[in-house]
Chain A
Amino acid sequence: MLSIVTLYPEALGTYGDGGNALALVHRAHARGYRVESLAISLGSPLPDADIYLLGGGEDGPQRQAADALRDDGSLASRVAHGALVVAVCAGLQILGQSFEVAGGRIAEGVGLIDAETRRGAQRRVGNAVITVDGRYVVGFENHGGDTQLGGETPLGQVVRGYGNDGAVDGVRTEGVWGTYLHGPVLALNPWLCDAVIERATGEPLESYASVADDLYQARLASLL
């Protein structure tokens, strides 16, 4: 049994973020797992889950999501007890100590990771490729944030695009995987989707071929 909770899709779901839950459910199902997937709206208490998904969003909704997660207050202990948070773009930003929104205002983050996000010199829009443990992750970024990590490890090295700062992208701790590659990043990178499932279940997955592999190879060929 694998349980997946998509957090606040009405606030954090700007760029097809629903694709990540869809891909996780499909690929876990295909390996015989029973999967429960549900979405939680702002203000509802967090239910128990193996995987929590946070997507991208605009400034206002992003602040709401950060406030809602702090008000709930349970995410840190859930992560300490083994849950995994997969956070994309604005979802990544709100997990840090603070992030900057329009007008130069600094908003308080959730504080689950040691990171600060400030407005960068320009908006970063375009295809992006990073390497994670020597494997490529392809995607698209569209954000105006520069993220500085404290003592924590990034998720990947930037091969193309900008990520946190032009050199590295995202964050990886025991319980948080975050990236600026927005929207359906797990749908576009089947191996990363499987890595999330394996981390959540603690079991290796058998291989599973699909058209998603063709897409992944085609994107790599066109971007590298």
Chain B
Amino acid sequence: MSSLSHLRSRTALWVGATAALASRLLRRGAGEVIGSKLALAFDPDLLRHVGADRRVIVVSGTNGKSTTTALVQAALGNPVDKQTGANMPTGWVTTLIRTHGAVALEVDEPYLAEAMEKLSPEVVCLLNLSRDQLDRTSEVRQIAEKWRLVIAGTTTQIVANANDPLIVYAVGPALNVTWVDAPLVWVKDASSCPLCTRPLSVEGDWECACGFRRPTPTWHLNSRSIEGPGVSIPFSVALPGEYNRGNAAMAIVSAHLAGIQAGVAASRVSEVKEVLGRFGTVRWRGRRWHLFLAKNPAGLAALAQLTEGFSSDLVISINDNVADGRDPSWLYDAPFDEIARGHRVFCTGSRALDIATRLHYSGIESTVIATLDDLPEQVTASVPVTVIANYTAFSEWQRRGTPC
């Protein structure tokens, strides 16, 4: 780095820090976003500079990004309670400034090219691809196509889920891939071959007539161990669900490739019980609320595996802010009927009527809560009430309650 560009980056960081301080003084939030935004505007090469000489692991995919990023952080020996869920360039700058040494960064799918170009990551961990917020991002196959172009010919170490055909398609042209046999709960977006469009049956060792097939994974999960080349490591996950076992496996392998002994990584990962308040319980208005984030069909399909642990009262909160996607059509792709059947359901959020209608057509009648103040009195007080919420609805629940 030339001394001149050094100076520009340092000035950019000073501009950003000043703005962040001003923003905090004006009580306009934590200040980091405005600070990083200004700093990036001042110096477009800032990411390269703050990321230089850092060992970076980037994590992307439709579902499990925040959780897996936190698990990689844990595996690296970093604190996980400082996770922000920020997954775009301004968030990366903030994280890079606030941390030292090896770091895991979450990457929103459309930003993978920028992350790989500017952060020169040591490891890229790619989880899964499925439909999500189609009004805001591209259709899922277009994302796979873009990734494929970015990844073509790269020698960067990629950790990828061998069970997801869209991931296999995107990662295909990479030279250095470690395939993991991570559980996948949603394959409906890969029912035709990404390569030749013939129908594809994604079961077990799937293969298309054109030759496109599931690669042989080098890492496997057993009930109590994770098996890699020549190693078998005890494996347990405190986070709920089969999908979180998959996220944990992806995190352990990623950290291992970044130089952490796999046994150490697995032991650190096993201790993470909560990420960004997800799977956590909050107290509000004399009731306890057990919060689950689910924002797309694959996320709901994953939650459908956990229904045994749900309370008999079930709150479903669905918003349609920009960050949620403005179009709730996806409610009909998600197995809400499986999740809600047998429960007393309360629908809240700006699209409460949409979820109530979706359940109605599956023969499940629910109560639409127009004003949230009316909710606490109606639910049972004796146990934490299960709340399933999409993105901004989930944040509202976190702000509303105090952790318990």
Q: In the bound complex, do residue A17 and residue B357 qualify as a contact, i.e. CB atoms below 8 Å apart?
A: no
Stretch in B33-41, B43-51, B82-90, B329-337 touching the partner? B329-337
Q: Does A13 contact B (CB under 8 A)?
A: yes
Q: Which of B188, B329, B330, B354 has the most CB of A within 10 A?
A: B329
Least CB distance from A14 to B in Å reads 6
Q: Does A174 contact B (CB under 8 A)?
A: no
Q: Does B131 contact A (CB under 8 A)?
A: yes
Dominant secondary structure at the A interface? mixed
Q: In the complex, what residues of A have CB within 8 A of residue B329's CB? A: 15-16, 19, 140, 182-184
A138 to B141, CA, bound (A): 28
Q: Does A41 contact B (CB under 8 A)?
A: yes
Q: In the bound complex, do residue A11 and residue B191 qualify as a contact, i.e. CB atoms below 8 Å apart?
A: yes
What range describes how many residues of B lie at the interface? 20 to 34
Q: In the bound complex, do residue A60 and residue B331 qualify as a contact, i.e. CB atoms below 8 Å apart?
A: no
Q: Assuming A140-B329, A211-B368, is B192 touching A10 (CB within 8 A)?
A: yes
Contact indicator per residue, chain B 307-345, by CB within 8 Å of chain A (1) or not (0)? 000000000000000000011011111000000000000
Residue of B nearest to A61 (CB): B192
Q: Which of A10, A26, A59, A63 has the most CB of B within 10 A?
A: A10
Q: In the complex, what residues of A have CB within 8 A of residue B199's CB? A: 10, 41-43, 64
Q: Does B55 contact A (CB under 8 A)?
A: no
Q: Does B80 contact A (CB under 8 A)?
A: no
Stretch in A72-80, A109-117, A212-220 touching the partner? A212-220
Q: Of A61, A127, A140, A183, which one neighbours B197 at CB under 8 angstroms? A: A61
Residue of B nearest to A24 (CB): B361
A64 to B329, CA, bound (A): 23
Contact indicator per residue, chain A 44-61, by CB within 8 Å of chain B (1) or not (0)? 000000000000001111
Q: In the complex, what residues of A have CB within 8 A of residue B197's CB? A: 60-61, 63-64
Q: In the complex, what residues of B have CB within 8 A of residue A11's CB? A: 191-192
Within 8 A of A (CB), among B196-211: 197, 199
Least CB distance from A222 to B in Å reads 9
Contact indicator per residue, chain B 347-388, by CB within 8 Å of chain A (1) or not (0)? 000000110111011110100100000000000000000000
Q: Does A91 contact B (CB under 8 A)?
A: no
Q: Does B135 contact A (CB under 8 A)?
A: yes
Q: Assuming A43-B199, A140-B135, is B360 touching A10 (CB within 8 A)?
A: no
Q: Does B134 contact A (CB under 8 A)?
A: yes
Within 8 A of A (CB), among B126-167: 131, 134-135, 139-142
Beyond A11-B191, A64-B199, 4 additional contacts (C-beta under 8 Å) are A14-B131, A63-B197, A142-B134, A184-B358
Chosen A-B contacts, 25 in total, with CB atoms closer than 8 Å, are A10-B192, A14-B139, A15-B329, A16-B333, A17-B332, A18-B332, A19-B332, A22-B332, A26-B363, A59-B141, A60-B141, A61-B192, A63-B197, A64-B197, A64-B199, A126-B326, A140-B329, A182-B329, A183-B327, A188-B357, A210-B360, A212-B357, A212-B361, A214-B353, A215-B353
